[in-house]
Amino acid sequence: MNMDAWAGVAQTILDGFNRHYSLFREYSRAGKPCFENADWKKAAEASAERIKGYELRVQETVEEIRRNYPEAAGMAELWPRIKIVFIGKLMNHWQAECAETYYNSVACRVLHRNYYNSEYIFWRPAISTEYLEGSCPIYRSYYPDRDGLRRALLEILTSYGLSIPFENLRRDLRCLEHAVLERHQGGWKAQPNYQIQVLDSLFFRNKGAYIVGRMINGAERQPFVIPLLRRDDGTMVVDTLLMRQKDVAVMFSFSRAYFLVDMEVPSAYVSFLRSIMPRKSTVDLYAMLGLQKQAKTLFYRQLQHHLRHSRDNFQIAPGVRGMVMLVFTLPSFQFVFKMIKDRFDPPKTSSREEVREKYLLVKNHDRVGRLADTLEYSNVAIPLNRIDPALMKHLQEDAAGSIEIDGDHLVIKHIYIERRMEPLDNYLASASRAQRKHAIRDYGNSIRDLAGANIFPGDMLKKNFGVTRHSRVVFYDYDEICYITECNFRRVPPPRDYEDLMSDQPWYSMQENDVFPETFGPFFFAHPADMALFRKHHAELMTAEWWQQIKQDILSGGQADIFPYPEKIRFCNRRASNG
């Protein structure tokens, strides 16, 4: 294989990536017309197609290499040269880090796992993306001290070229200005460098469009997000202003759907976002921007780095053991590792493929802040000397079909990785009275939000919900998840006689998709005081009528309004309270 052929393989991979990213941007740009036309169904389809597109492009590239350069598949020693040529082609590439990841995806389809090292693939990044500039600046700057705050806000709101008018732009400007000045109380003083910077592209998700920016004043960087909502009458409103770092971080939570945002230079967007959310990792941010494969690459590098700088062992995750998933953790690392068992404990009857489909459903669906995102991997190698003996025993007993020993490593053929949360049942066992009250109420809110997004959790035991660092209750056990529209919600028929009443078996017939909300009580809370508190806020969750109405609303084309920020800070509530 001569040098022209090496360059040909490298160019084939780069062409495949460029096609992928061109389509990625095309799907991302669909967010704007979908928002303008209230076409929420098409926006969801664009998001799902964007996720699926990566694997399709990789497969196309692999097939093209095998067809045009068959020797590349059979001679692994050629790939270090191919990699060097590929690096040379990335010197001025605007998505170099993502192109490296794409190269890895292609190479790992062609090469044996023994060649997964830095000589053959991008184990470390080769091209720096720091200060990488595209054809246009990624953000615009405005100067309130020079032009006036209201003028600056007006220019920001009208700079994105949306085709729909504001319902009342003057009113929204007053609300925004008041909210900014409210945050600037307490001795705040404008410094010579006082400016507002906003990212050039809007962030679209569900029924909202978001202006993301930062306020610079002296050494301070203040994050802010302006949510725009489209009304049914074809106008739009400014819904609120988020300036607390916590509120902005929650908007970019791992339990929410990915944004549709058009980015010429994704690393520059990540850099900007990290400047206003320093606690967010680059893994989180690439994922929320829809670049899950890049997030996976960065996460795997972080895991390998952490293993080299830690000494604790992988061990069985605390809490109630799962019937379908084998879950383990590395205590010093804030994630859990989940494998599908070879055999499921009764009464579970689903198959491995069905479980994978459930996880894919969640990946493609609107997670409304209540479903944990997962990173899915194949052929993950873990040092054998870092595996606790009790965990190894469980792996060999419950998941032998998904593991193999290769030298001094355990290779896991398929695994999901999630952010670690404290299971709700464990959390409640040691929670203060105030924490307990909040968690019980938010547990019900979590079920409501999922229902509004057409998701029925199936198994609603508290062990299947976790509590995030922002004290939000999130669902993370997906083997029984399904769409609300697939369920048949029924009332429990009255007993026919005394024998029915005393029977330990149901006296009524049940079909596969029948659900009886009246029977949910024992799944929720056994303690009378906890159950009384739950009933106070969520009694209707135990009635068939409530679920039937939710189902009907969804079938009629409705989409619930679930906001990624507190209801009380919405401007419509401020206006109502002010008369």
Residues with a catalytic annotation lie at 373
Contact assessment for residue 312 and residue 330, using Cβ atoms and an 8 Å cutoff: yes
Q: Is the dihedral of CA 553, 559, 565, 570 positive or negative?
A: negative
Q: How far apart are CA 28 and CA 30, in angstroms?
A: 5
Element (H, E) at 409: strand 409-419
Which structure tokens are listed for 422? 């404290």
Q: How far apart are CA 265 and CA 275, in angstroms?
A: 16
Q: Which residues pair with 489 in a beta bridge?
A: 515
> Encoding tokens for residue 564?
């990624």
**Cis omega (within 30 of 0) on the bond before 278?**
no
Helices and strands per DSSP (H, E), number in the chain: 22, 19
Strand partners, 198: 140, 213
Please name the residues in contact with 342: beta carbons below 8 A apart, sequence gap of 6 or more. 398, 399, 400, 401, 402
Dist CA 255 CA 469 (whole Å): 12
Report d(CA 239, CA 566) in Å as an integer. Answer: 11
Three-state secondary structure along 49-65?
Answer: HHHHHHHHHHHHHHHHH
Q: What is the DSSP letter of 345?
A: P
Q: Which amino acid is at 82?
A: I
Amino acid identity at 377: Y
CB distance 197 to 204 below 8 Å: no
- Distance, in Å, from the CA atom of 520 to the CA atom of 461, rounded to the nearest integer, reads 10
Cα-Cα-Cα-Cα dihedral sign, residues 119, 133, 219, 187: negative
**What end-to-end distance do the CA atoms of the chain give, in Å?**
78
166 φ/ψ angles, rounded to the nearest 5 degrees: -75, 145
In one-letter notation, the amino acid at residue 338 is K
Residue labelled with tokens 């350069």: 69
Among residues 114, 78, 107, the alpha carbon closest in space to that of 17 is found at 107
How far apart, in whole angstroms, are the C-alpha atoms of residue 419 and residue 466? 10
